[in-house]
Amino acid sequence: MRKELRLPLTAQGRLDRALADALGLGRAAVKAAFAAGEVRVRGRRARASDPASPGALVELEVEEPAGPPAPEPELPLAVLAEGPRWLVVDKPPGVPTHPLAAEEGGTLANAVVARYPECAAASPDPREGGAVQRLDLETSGCVLFARDPEAWEALREQFHARSIEKVYRALVVGRVPSGGVCSVPLAQRGGRVVAVPDPLAPSAQRAGQGRPREAETHYEVERAFAAHTLLAVRIVTGVMHQIRAHLAFLGHPVLGDGLYGGVAAEMPLTSRHYLHAARVGFARPEDGVRQVVESPLPRDFEAMLERLPPP
């Protein structure tokens, strides 16, 4: 869909955000247009991080926006906690957080909007159905949803400010002797991210590839097995696949994670990678009070722990 518009005279900040607001589109659609080089300001190709120029003529090619998730009341939904402006639900492994394309169903957001219809209008990108965060398909555990647009913005601001507490449990390959911190930058390469120990090296700055982003992962040993370790992992930043990429970089990929661990992460009878969002802590948008929500390990995760021989 080809669009042409002039930015309002009140436009300010980054160009991508100003465009999303002016068009009434989700930021994901605008981001895709920039990635494809389909945004021009006054006839010149623009970048997402360029400052918005009030009154400037902008031309761009964007996909038709997908609507909100269709309510699917038949889908199961486990609500861990809720307030008047938010809720935290327990995502099973193998269930997408929200649709990525029009008419996609069977996601967590489809189940949420069936019980909490106000969530469908809470997020700037209607597809998200109010989801404030997203977990990988095979990752289970806590997912935070907003119930109104102001709550979504307030919760997202906490993510940007790094004040959200995010704790995971990861079952990894090998014996991890002690806890530690991994702060190696990560760069996106297609559908995965790679560790970039030297982000200033020319190879880290190749054209058309994502620039290295700051990433910080803390981990502690919870339980040791003969050839595996259960870790408690806390992430300060939120780079795509951060925990999986960092642990693989350390030589301890998440069990079942073939994308980052290859054959070293494989094990008979594994149906997914064993990563679980165990706890989320945030300031409630209605009153600022600190809220902590926890998710117990799912049955398949517990069953895997029972299979592993002791040290």
Told to judge if 136 belongs to the known catalytic residues of this protein, a careful annotator would answer yes
Q: How far apart are CA 275 and CA 175, in angstroms?
A: 17
Amino acid symbol at 301: F
CA 102/CA 67 separation, integer angstroms:
7
**Alpha-carbon gap, residue 228 to 79, rounded angstroms:** 31
CB atoms within 10 A of CB 91: 27
Exposure string (b/e) for 1-14, b if CB count within 10 Å is 16 or more?
A: eebeeebeeebeee
Distance CA(92)–CA(113), nearest Å, equals 17
CA-wise closest residue to 252 among 230, 276, 268: 230
Give the chain's count of helices (H) and strands (E).
7, 15
Nearest CA-CA partner of 275 in 89, 94, 75, 81: 94
Scanning the structure block, which residue is given the tokens 């870790």? 231
The two structure tokens encoding residue 215:
């990433």
AA identity, residue 150: E
Active-site residue, selected from the candidate residues 136, 148, 198, 287: 136
Cross-strand pairs, 283: 290
In one letter, which amino acid is 264? A
Residue 276 phi/psi, 5° resolution?
Answer: -135, 125
Residue in 169, 290, 186, 291 with CA at minimum distance from that of residue 234: 169
Residues serving a catalytic function are: 136
